[in-house]
Amino acid sequence: MRLRLTVLSRPSWLLAALLWTQVVLAAEPPQPTAEAIALDEAIQGLKDETLELNRELQQLEDNYAYPPHSALSVYVGSVAPSSFLSDIAVSIDDGPFTRYAYTEREARALFDKGLHRVLRANLEPGPHRIRVEMNGRSFKDAAAPPFSERAEGVFEKGEREAEIEISFGRGGKVQALRNYKPGSKDDPRVRAADFLNGDERHFSAAMTLLQLRQEQEGQKLPADYQWRLAESYLAFGMRGRAEALYRDLAVTTTDHLALGRARLRLAEFLYERGFLQESATSLLRMREKLPEPLQLPWQDLLSRALMSQGRYSDALEVLTEMKNGDKQSPYTRYNLGVAMINDGRVADGETLLDRIGRLPPTDTENLALRDKANLTLGFHFLRKQQGGTAKPLFSRVRITGPYSNRALLGLGWAELAPQGEKQKKTDIADPEPEDNPLRGLATLGILINPARLGDYDVYKRAGLRSFKLEKVKKEDEEALRKALVPWAELINRDPMDPAVQEGMLAIPFALERIGAHIQAQQFYEKSVELLEESRRRIDSASQQIRQARMVETIVRRDIDSEAGWNWRLRDLPDAPETFYLQSIIAENRYQEALKNYRDVRFLARNLDGVKARIAAVEALSQSRPEAAVSPVELIERARSVRKQDKPQIKLKLRMDVLLTAPYTPPSLPGSLPPLQLRLASAPSRFNGVRERSEQLRLRLSALRSLIDDAANEQSEVLKDIALKELAGQKKTVEKYLVESRFALARIYEDRLKGDAP
C-alpha cells in the first residue's frame, strides 16, 4: 500500500498540516514546460554570446595593454596543504609592491596546482629583479601564530611574454615557467582556470580557457583542456556546451573514472532542473561500466530520480542490488526506508526509518535528518491509528528545530488517537538505552515527562481556566490533558506558522469531543481572528511577490557571484513573504529558476562593465597608437599573416672553359625619366581598434536588449511559482475559516437550545 499520511477521521481542515509530513510526494513533481525549456536554452545562448564578447574584448585589451614582447605575468600557487596563504606582496625592480589578500575559499583553490595571476606588467627585455613577501596561517589550528615567507630572484625578460611562478610553502620559491604544452595541465592559464573554478568564478574560468583556445587557433588542445572547459561550462549552467565536449571526450578518453564523474554531474544537473526521466535514463546507461568509487553517489542520485517519479520498486532495486548498505549515507538509507514502505515492505521500511531516527548527534545535518525520520514515522503510525507507537517517535524530535512545531502537533494527536498494539519489531518505540548520547538533547519528550506533569497547570498554559466535566470519562479527560501539553507549547509560538494555526484548531476540536463547548468556542473565536490575519498577510505577501522585492533582495546579496549552477541560497532574506515561501524556496524548481535569474542579472552587470572597458581600450589606443611593438614581433606577425611557398633553389658553382670575359654592362644615359606615383585606393576592409570597438558596441547593445527580455521572463517564472504557492496556502486558510465558523455556528446553536454546559 502506497503511503499517504492522513490522521484519523478528523475534519478536512486538520489534514493540511499533516500532509506536509508525507513520506513521499503524492504525485510526480511538475515537469518543465516547453516555454520554460525554451527560456532555459535561450539563457544558455546568451551566456555563450556574453563569453565570446568578453573574450574578443580581452584580446583587444591585451594587444594594447600587454603586448607579448613586454608582458610579464606573475602567478602564485600553494604546496602547503596544512596552511593557507593569507596575503602576498610582489615588487619588480624595487618598485612599489602589488598586494593581494586571499579569502579562505581562494586559498583552498590554490591547492592541487591552481595558480592565481597576482601581477601583470610591462617590462623592457633584459634582466629584472623580483621580490616576494607572503604571510600564511594554519588550516588546522586557528590559534597558531601566522608565519611569513620571503624570497627574491633575478629573471631574464626576452621577446616573448615572461611567466613567473611563486610557490607558497617552499620558502617562496620563484621559477620561470617554460617548456609546457599549451592547454596541458602544466599550462599556467589552465592552472589559473583551476583556481577560478575553485573560487566559483566559473564565467572567468571559461573565458580564460576560451582565450587560450583562440591563441592556439588551428591546433587541437589536449584532453586536460577539454575536461576543464566542459566543467566550467556546466558549472555556469551551460549544459549544451558541456554535453558536446563530454561526448567528444567519451570517444577518446581512457579515464573512465573522470568520465563517470562527468556523467554523474550532468545527471545531477538534469535532476535539479526537473528533467527526471532524462536524468534517470542517463544514470541507468552508466550501470554496466560504473566505476566502483562512484557506486554510492550513483545509487543516491538514481534512487532520488526514480522516487520523484513514483518508481519505488525500481528505486528499491537500485539501493539494494549492490549489497552495500553499510557504506550508504544516512540520507540514502532514509530514501531506502521510504522506498520500502511505498513498495509494500512496510515493516522493513519502518525499522530502517526508526534507526535513522536514532542517529548519534554528530552534526546539525544529522540532527535534522533524525528529526525528519521521527516526524515522518510518527505520522505514519498515526495514520495506522497506532498512537502509542507514534508518541515516542514524536518525543525524540528536538524542542527547537525545523520540525519541532509539526512534531508538537503530532504529539498531541498521538495522545488522543487509538493507542494500537505494540509493534513487533526490536527498535520502534522501544525506550532508548540509558547510555544513549541522544539523552543530552532537549527533545519533546521532556514536555510529557511524568515528573514535569505533576504540578503543571496545562489549562492555564493553554489560556483556559481549569474545568471539570461530570459526564466525561476519566481516561478521556486525562488524554485531553496530555494532548494539551504539547499543543499549549505550540500555540505560544509564531502564530503565522501553519502548524501553530492547526494547533489553535486542534484544541477546540478536542474540547468539543469531551463536551467542553464554551472553552471550544473561545478557541474557535481566537482561531478565526488568527486565520483572518493570516489571510491578510498572505494577500500582502502576494503583492510583495508581484513587486519582486524578495527575489531582488536575494540577488543583490551575491550580485557579482559567478557561481552559476553551483550557487546555493545561504539563508532566507528578512522579508514578510519569505515566511510563507520557505517550503517552495527549498524545492529544486524554484532554486533552479532563481539560479537562472541570478545568472541573467550577472550577464547584464557584466555587459555594463564591458561598455566601460571598450571606452578604456579606445583611449589607450589613442595614447599609444603603435602599441610599442618590437621589430621582432612585427616580423613574426607578418610571417604568421602571409606565408609564401617559395621554391627551394640550389646553387652550384663549376668551372666552364667556354665562358667569355666578364660581362660589361652598357653605359646608362645621363638622366632617367622621373618616377610616376599615383594614389592607391583605400583597403576594402580595415579592422583597427576603432572599427573593432564599434562592432563590439553594436553587439553589446543587441545582446543587452535580449538579456533584459530574458530577465523579465525569468522573473515572471519565479513570480508564477511563488504566487501559486501562496494561492494554495490561502485556499487552505479559507478552508480552515469555513470549518471554524461552521463549528462556532454549531456551538451557538447548541447553546441556544440549552445543550451546551
Q: What is the per-residue pLDDT across 299-353, written as a single tens digit (0 to 9) for each?
A: 999 999 999 999 999 999 999 998 888 899 999 999 999 999 999 999 999 999 9
User: pLDDT, tens digit, for every residue of 55-90?
Assistant: 999 999 988 888 888 999 999 999 887 888 999 999
Pull the grid cell for residue 400.
Answer: 527547537
Q: Averaged over 160-164, what is the pLDDT?
A: 91
pLDDT at 87: 95
Asked if the model's pLDDT at residue 21 lies above 50, the reply is no
pLDDT at 416: 86
Q: Averaged over 445-454, what is the pLDDT?
A: 63
Range of weakest confidence among 90-94, 632-636, 719-723, 724-728:
632-636
Q: Averaged over 215-219, what is the pLDDT?
A: 84
Asked if the model's pLDDT at residue 23 lies above 60, the reply is no
The angle, 0 to 180 degrees and rounded to 10, between the axes of the packed helices 34-65 and 202-215 is: 60
List the one residue out of 368, 308, 297 whose CA is nearest residue 338.
308
User: Regarding predicted confidence, which is higher, 485 or 97?
Assistant: 97
Q: Averaged over 655-678, what is the pLDDT?
A: 66
Other CB atoms closer than 10 Å to residue 277's CB: what's the count? Answer: 15
Asked if the model's pLDDT at residue 13 lies above 70, the reply is no
8 A C-beta contact, residue 695 and residue 60: no
Range of weakest confidence among 31-40, 598-607, 698-707:
31-40
8 A C-beta contact, residue 238 and residue 47: yes
Q: Which amino acid is at 241?
A: R
Whole-number percent of the chain with pLDDT over 70: 81
pLDDT at 446: 75
Other CB atoms closer than 10 Å to residue 203's CB: what's the count? Answer: 25
User: pLDDT, tens digit, for every residue of 487-540?
Assistant: 988 988 888 788 888 888 888 888 887 778 888 888 899 889 989 998 999 999
Could you give the CA distance from residue 751 to residue 43 in angstroms, rounded to a whole number?
64
Q: Averaged over 436-440, what is the pLDDT?
A: 53
pLDDT at 451: 54
**How far is residue 299 from each of residues 255, 306, 577, 587, 594, measured CA to CA in Å?**
21, 10, 37, 21, 28
Q: What is the average pLDDT value for the chain, to the nearest integer?
A: 83
Q: Which residues pair with 156 in a beta bridge?
A: 127
At residue 27 the predicted structure's pLDDT band, cuts being 50, 70 and 90, is very low
Asked if the model's pLDDT at residue 646 lies above 70, the reply is no
Range of weakest confidence among 2-11, 369-378, 517-526, 547-556:
2-11
Q: What is the 8-class DSSP label of residue 473? A: -
pTM: predicted TM-score of the whole model, two decimal places: 0.83
CA angle 108, 114, 117 (to 5 degrees): 105
pLDDT at 25: 37
User: Regarding predicted confidence, which is higher, 438 or 193?
Assistant: 193
pLDDT at 128: 95
Could you give the CA distance from residue 527 to residue 718 in angstroms, rounded to a whole number?
32
Range of weakest confidence among 23-27, 109-113, 254-258:
23-27
pLDDT at 315: 94
pLDDT at 18: 35
Calculate Rg over the CA atoms of the chain.
36
At residue 49 the predicted structure's pLDDT band, cuts being 50, 70 and 90, is very high
pLDDT at 351: 94
Report phi then psi at 389, rounded to 5.
Answer: -80, -35
pLDDT at 523: 86
Asked if the model's pLDDT at residue 288 lies above 90, the reply is no
pLDDT at 20: 35
At residue 465 the predicted structure's pLDDT band, cuts being 50, 70 and 90, is low
Asked if the model's pLDDT at residue 614 lies above 70, the reply is yes
Q: What is the 8-class DSSP label of residue 586? A: T
Q: Is 650 helix (H, G, I), strand (E, B) or coil?
A: coil
Whole-number percent of the chain with pLDDT over 90: 47
At residue 659 the predicted structure's pLDDT band, cuts being 50, 70 and 90, is low
Asked if the model's pLDDT at residue 755 lies above 60, the reply is no
pLDDT at 643: 52
User: pLDDT, tens digit, for every residue of 369-403?
Assistant: 999 999 999 999 999 889 899 999 999 999 988 89
Q: Per mean pLDDT, which of 135-139, 179-183, 451-455, 700-704 is the most reliable?
A: 700-704
